[in-house]
Structures are given as C-alpha cells and as structure tokens.
Amino acid sequence: SQTIHQWPATLVQPVGSPLSLECTVEGTSNPNLYWYRQAAGRGLQLLFYSVGIGQISSEVPQNLSASRPQDRQFILSSKKLLLSDSGFYLCAWINWGTGELFFGEGSRLTVL
C-alpha cells in the first residue's frame, strides 16, 4: 500500500531564516505530488504540484520554492521566511483512478 511521510512534524523558525520541508512517498511510482498550506482557520491553498522529476508548477507567487530531485521525493524550501509563512503544510499524492488526494501527516510551521 502507498504511504506518504513528511518531516519535520513541527518547527519554530525566526523571521529571515531558511526552511526545508521534506516529503517522500512509498508504494507508488511516478506519482503526482502536491504541497498545500493551511493558515490558521483557513482552507487549503495549493502552493506547488509536480508531475515528475524536475517538473514543478507554482500556483501562487511567494517566497517559497519546491523541488523534486527524485521520483518519490518532494521538497518545499524558502531562503528567508516571513511571518505570513506560518501555517500547516501538507504534502499529498493523487490516485488517478479516483482523483482522491492522500495527505501526509503535515508539518506545522511557526515563524516568530
């Protein structure tokens, strides 16, 4: 069965510091991968998605970036965090048979 892992689960970072969140998927090959962000009390905002190695589509302009160095690895990064980057970050992959998104357990980022 497919599983998706995210880390770290929680982090507190100062404004201006760098960020790296990692996501890996097991049990499937060539998955479409997604990064969503959920601000406190808000819905899910799609940040990036990737259909293959090195292929990244950005949905919103911001100071975040994403990379896909391997088939089942998806990384979210920032060179300098802003207060507005605080939120719950979710990695997901899509089952094309049903269109269902499967989410990792999330990474909660607090920028101070």
Which of 74, 84, 82 minimizes the C-alpha distance to 7? 74
- 1 sits near another protein (criterion: CB under 8 A): no
Q: Which is nearer to another protein, 45 or 77 (CB)?
A: 45
User: CA triplet 100, 35, 92: central angle to 5 degrees?
Assistant: 30
Q: Find the shortest distance in angstroms from Cβ 100 to another protein.
A: 5
Give me the phi and psi of 69, to 5 degrees please: -75, -25
Q: Among 42, 63, 79, 110, which residue sits at the site for another protein (rule: CB under 8 A)?
A: 42
Stretch that binds another protein, among 11-19, 41-49, 62-70, 72-80 (CB under 8 A): 41-49
